[in-house]
Structure 1
């Protein structure tokens, strides 16, 4: 009898400017065509940008779908709505490892609501975070000092430091993903 694939969620958290989306995109490229992994674009009530590859959803559609329970996980932060798309839960049920960027504020809810959750914190030194956030120059980022003051959550199962070459952080993150798939 064939062994059933592991499945579940690898949820990426960390402070703004840590390079979460950059590391996730590099891992997606490196693992392209590798069947156990799926990298859905999260839904956000703002257009995608050079710093965040999301799928835009209208505020009214987000509110309606959230109220109907259509999302496996959703949250609001910085005045925006964020959600993991419904098909992500179906992929995890098929035994795939679903990789998503979420807010640190919803880790506990994610562990209650989603199967096989493994939380990976991506972080960088405070001076690196400050420089990256300043370079973005996004008004919706709000108070940068408050964003920088948030610590890496204790609920993380693994941490990737993204202070030097992106390739190093990507290799460390890919190693975590391969381990979750039982291939390391």
Structure 2
């Protein structure tokens, strides 16, 4: 986070991050958000005005998701120091967007991030401009995709599926991710191209 923003927040001024746009891609576990984000990133390669955020997560890295692993101590320290422009808790883990997101937003870029439905209200409070993409799939598809990752027990898969935070309003784009990756991925890429 910029020194200016830290100073503004320290002075008690509630200034939203801008002028750029934050696009939060949200939806239940197993909806295919990371797959769609990877597709859109590849289709929009070379666009300097659009950046794709790598989240910080208190989980080791693996092949299912492109994130930066942090431990709880470093995460807590980052929150206390104001390094994360957005952070949240979900599924027993801590998630955050890094300082580079605030820098890109300040530079007027569009930043696309895998987010959480539970963090949408906080994102709207912190960022001047937010668009919401909701990705979902039928419950049986979600369960099969989560189980295929091999990270969770059957009980943990069921617990994830029961967690369904409500959106604070209709999304700017809704994607039912049940067809091939090209169809759903191109919908996301086309939406981002049009911003």
TM-score bracket, shorter-length normalisation: 0.7 to 0.9
Q: Which of residues 119, 138, 160 is equivalent to 1:147?
A: 160
**1:128 and 2:147 correspond:** no
Structure 2: which 5+ runs fail to align? 1-18
| Alpha-carbon contact 2:20-2:129 (below 8 Å) kept | yes
Aligned ranges for residues 85-104 of structure 1 at < 5 Å? 85-104=98-117
Distance in 2, matches of 1:142 and 1:101, equals: 24
CA shift for structure 1 position 76: 1.5
Specify the alignment match of 1:117 in structure 2.
130
List structure 1 segments (4+ residues) > 6 angstroms apart after TM superposition. Answer: none
CA shift for structure 1 position 179: 1.8
Aligned ranges for residues 20-35 of structure 1 at < 5 Å? 20-35=33-48
Distance in 1, matches of 2:155 and 2:22, equals: 29
Range moving further from structure 2, 153-162 or 136-145: 136-145
CA shift for structure 1 position 142: 5.7
With over 3 angstroms needed to count, the CA separation of the structure-2 counterparts of 1:103 and 1:7, relative to structure 1, is same
1:143 is paired with a residue of what secondary structure? helix
Q: Which of residues 85, 88, 108 is equivalent to 1:72?
A: 85
* TM-score, scaled relative to structure 1: 0.88
With over 3 angstroms needed to count, the CA separation of the structure-2 counterparts of 1:142 and 1:57, relative to structure 1, is farther
Structure 1: which 5+ runs fail to align? 1-5
Specify the alignment match of 1:157 in structure 2.
172
Specify the alignment match of 1:52 in structure 2.
65
| Alpha-carbon contact 1:15-1:152 (below 8 Å) kept | no
CA shift for structure 1 position 163: 0.4
CA shift for structure 1 position 104: 1.0
Distance in 2, matches of 1:141 and 1:71, equals: 32
**1:170 and 2:185 correspond:** yes
Distance in 2, matches of 1:142 and 1:31, equals: 38
2:179 is paired with a residue of what secondary structure? coil
Specify the alignment match of 2:194 in structure 1.
179
Specify the alignment match of 1:3 in structure 2.
none
| Alpha-carbon contact 1:13-1:122 (below 8 Å) kept | yes
Report how many aligned residue pairs link the two structures: 175
Range moving further from structure 2, 153-162 or 58-67: 153-162
| Alpha-carbon contact 1:14-1:152 (below 8 Å) kept | no
| Alpha-carbon contact 1:8-1:93 (below 8 Å) kept | no
* TM-score, scaled relative to structure 2: 0.83
